[in-house]
Chain A
Amino acid sequence: MSALPAPSPDLPDRTAPGLLRADVWRADALAAPRAQTLSSGDAALDAQLPGGGWPVGALTELLQAPGVHNEWRLLLPALARSGAGPVVLVAPPYMPFAPALQAQGLQAQRLLWLGAPDGQGTAALWLSEQALRCAAVDAVLAWLPQARAEQLRRLQWAAAEHHKLLFVLRPSAAQAQASPAVLRLLLDLDDGAALAVHILKRRGPPLTGPLHLAARPAALLRVLASAKPAWSAGKSDPSLHVAPTQTTSAHIAVLQPRRAAS
């Protein structure tokens, strides 16, 4: 009989990368940053992010093709849990639809829209930095299509100094440029429901393939799933589905899944 006690099955697996001591780094594992992180709400994504979530107090860069928007589905779960202070949107491309964001957990009164009237790039940078310096702000989302690396570095400093969540959204053409961001993701359309996320830069080994995330509200996923056959069937004439209604006053019909073309 050995004097050493048998390892308890309750002990965590020491080889799992996330459970390593913070001051010991195995070269094949993700570096465990000292900084605080905030879970992204998606287990598959959290497993690939150093520290298990979005870095707080660091710049995270999200790259997307022009005209494609997938930021909310990726960020909303984290933003909803980021605190109770304002979430600052700097120069967003459209109007955020607050009822939809509120239904997904982000309280509408936390939203704060900052933008330059004539859309100057320098004004957006100034606004982002001012927002980061504000004590009450919890997170900053900045749409900075023109930003240069040294300007981003300044934002990264401000985020680190004031310990804020900072997401900078830029066009996918910027992926060839150098960036001071600690985390760079390229968001790509997979199909209507799933989202392909390429991790271009992180503190740890590179990730070769993209991650596929569902990242849609459950109600929307159900509607899409029921519409799937029709979708794959291809074209159809929507005029077939315009049902006669006897609505008298304001009325919203229940959203019904589209039937297969008859």
Chain B
Amino acid sequence: MKPYWLAVCPQDAHHAGRDGGASRYAPLPASPLASALGGAISSDAGTEFSGAAPWADPMAALAWWSLQFTPWVAQVQQALVLEISASERLFGGRMALVQALLQPDHAPLPMQYAHGDSALLALARLACDALQQVGELAQPPLPPDALPLHTLASAQAHLPTLERLGCTTWGELRALPRGGVARRFGAPLLAALDQAYGAAPETYTWLRLPEVFDAPLELAAQVESAAALLFGARRLLAQLQLWLRARQHGVLVLELRWQLDARRANAHHRDTWHQGDGYGRLHLRTAEPTQDPRHLERLLAEHLAQVTLPAPVLYLRLRTLETCALRGQSLSLLPDELRSGDSLHHLLERVAARLGPESVRTVYLQDEHRPECMQTWQALGAQASAMVSTGVGQPSSAAAQTGMALGARAIAQASTMASQSLYPTWLLPQVRSLPCDADGLPQWDGPLALLAGPQRLELQAWDTGPQVQRDYYIAHSAGQGLLWVYRERLGAALGQGAAWYLHGLFA
């Protein structure tokens, strides 16, 4: 198949101008898609990118993004060349591919493109386009013979000589005898000319996605407060999202590193984030691989809110420590089942980042006799994230997870359930000692009437822990309703007077 090349460069790159003359001209307006193949045109990818670029490295962003159209992407000078002939069928034709590439608000930054049968031809047209006037945009692309010689990189060194010879276009150079050109200007110029006309194959170092995302960023100004680091980190996160999308990975662990100004005395400060080596480090972890920069940004904001910078910061670096392939997500066909809102692990991680891991707890049941040991409220950790990933929304798998081993011991459980419905719904985290009246009866907000009991709980502990002998009663208080109280039987037997404790509430 005959190769077909696109040359792409960010719009502001040619305004800065590698050939100096471009800055004389006004910025090129957007062209309609209908004339996409009519000539070298520019596409304006929306106004949101018109201000400061949101990318830490715009060229890499454009290259990673364009890898979705073809695997053959190379960077030549300040532009990218894409060989698209192999992927035309996948996109439904050359026209459809170019349209997908130029779709408004799709590209990471506004860009300009040109095409041709060879990469050098496309690059030359791109360079010419920078010099074209607005009115000339709709013209058909320049034929190769008419292209000015300065657009050929290999001819740059010989431009004055060639000009004195009367050679200003590719066609005129090609018309010269090959032997003389090779002797006068060297073989590379002839080879480049052959490549430009498609007579010789072109080779480039094709871009490959790095295995690990590791991007530095120099901040525009020194940053004194940790929260302000977020503005720089946001650009790095946007870049990270492009990398993750291209790799189809989700991030699990991220490291944000910042370099403290070494001239300050307390650059070697030590705390949780600073090890005294002049750098600060922050690790972001997510329970589920994610590509969502908004979630990462919110997490980062919560973490950065707790950091105090000992010295100003000028350099940031974002690195992925752990990523994994992202599974596809199946969506429901029915609109009713789509629920608005963010996912559960986003919620849990945001809460844990802001208020600490102790602020998120899930319960685990154990087969135990002591009520306080029947359940454990555990902080968010490995098991809590397991709960999220296996999905509480699926009753079958959720039921299989409990310590009660539902189903396997259905009969045993039926009896357990019956007795467990006699347990109170609130349990006091610490049992509360109750005062007694003269008869040895407990008092709590007035005298307590013992309704039912005793329920004897006796544990001759052969493992660790004290011996437990309790008589539980359901008591009624006039002001507080039904209470669950117990009496230490050991104390009563020793004649020390019964000690009463409040352990739960029937809410």
Contacts and interface: CB of A to CB of B under 8 A. Distances in A.
A86 B460 contact: no
Contacts of B358: 117
B30 interface: no
Contacts of A107: 395, 398-399, 402
Interface stretch (B135-143, B284-292, B451-459): B451-459
Interface string A172-204: 000000000000000001011000000000000
Contacts of B451: 192, 223-224, 227, 230-231, 258
Nearest to A216: B506
Interface in B429-480: 429, 439-441, 445, 447, 449-460, 462, 471-474, 476, 479-480
B222 interface: no
Given A96-B426, A97-B423, A220-B421, A258 B482 contact: no
A13 to B, nearest CB: 31
Interface in B411-427: 416-427
B455 A253 contact: yes
B455 A108 contact: no
Contact of A252 (B361, B404, B456): B456
Given A97-B424, A111-B362, A136-B343, A117 B356 contact: yes
Contact of A219 (B350, B395, B398, B418): B418
Given A108-B375, A127-B351, A258-B452, A96 B427 contact: yes
Interface string B38-80: 0000000000000000000000000000000000000000000
Contacts of A136: 339, 341, 343-344, 392-393
Interface string B339-375: 1111110110011001110111111010001010011
B303 interface: no
A190 B488 CA distance: 30
B492 interface: yes
Given A239-B498, A242-B471, A97 B504 contact: yes
Contacts of A242: 454, 471, 489, 492
A124 B330 CA distance: 34
A248 B356 CA distance: 44
B458 A251 contact: yes
A94 to B, nearest CB: 4
Contact of A241 (B341, B454, B498): B454
Would you call the interface of chain B mostly helix, strand, loop, or mixed?
mixed
Nearest to B478: A189
B351 A95 contact: no
B394 interface: yes
Most buried by B among A76, A136, A223: A136
B507 A73 contact: yes
Given A73-B507, A192-B481, A257 B392 contact: no
B480 to A, nearest CB: 6
Nearest to B352: A114
A174 to B, nearest CB: 19
Contacts of B343: 134-136
Interface residues of A, number: 85
Contact of B422 (A102, A220, A235): A220
B505 interface: yes
Contacts of A59: none
A255 B453 contact: yes
Nearest to A71: B507
Contact of B460 (A70, A241, A249, A254): A249
B499 interface: no
A134 B359 contact: no
B338 to A, nearest CB: 9
Given A235-B439, A250-B459, A252-B457, A109 B398 contact: yes
Contacts of A235: 439, 441, 447, 449
A219 to B, nearest CB: 5
A216 B452 CA distance: 15
Most buried by A among B351, B356, B416: B351
A207 to B, nearest CB: 23
A93 B427 CA distance: 10
Most buried by A among B417, B487, B506: B506
Given A68-B481, A99-B365, 9 more contacts: A86-B344, A96-B363, A113-B362, A132-B341, A136-B392, A219-B422, A223-B474, A249-B460, A250-B460
8 contacts: A108-B365, A108-B375, A109-B401, A116-B355, A134-B343, A189-B479, A220-B422, A242-B454
Interface of A: 65, 67-73, 76, 83-86, 93-104, 107-117, 123, 126-127, 130-137, 161-163, 189, 191-192, 216-220, 223-224, 226-227, 230-231, 234-239, 241-243, 245, 247-255, 257-258
Across the A-B interface, the 6 shortest Cβ-Cβ residue pairs = A253-B456, A135-B341, A69-B507, A103-B420, A100-B423, A113-B361
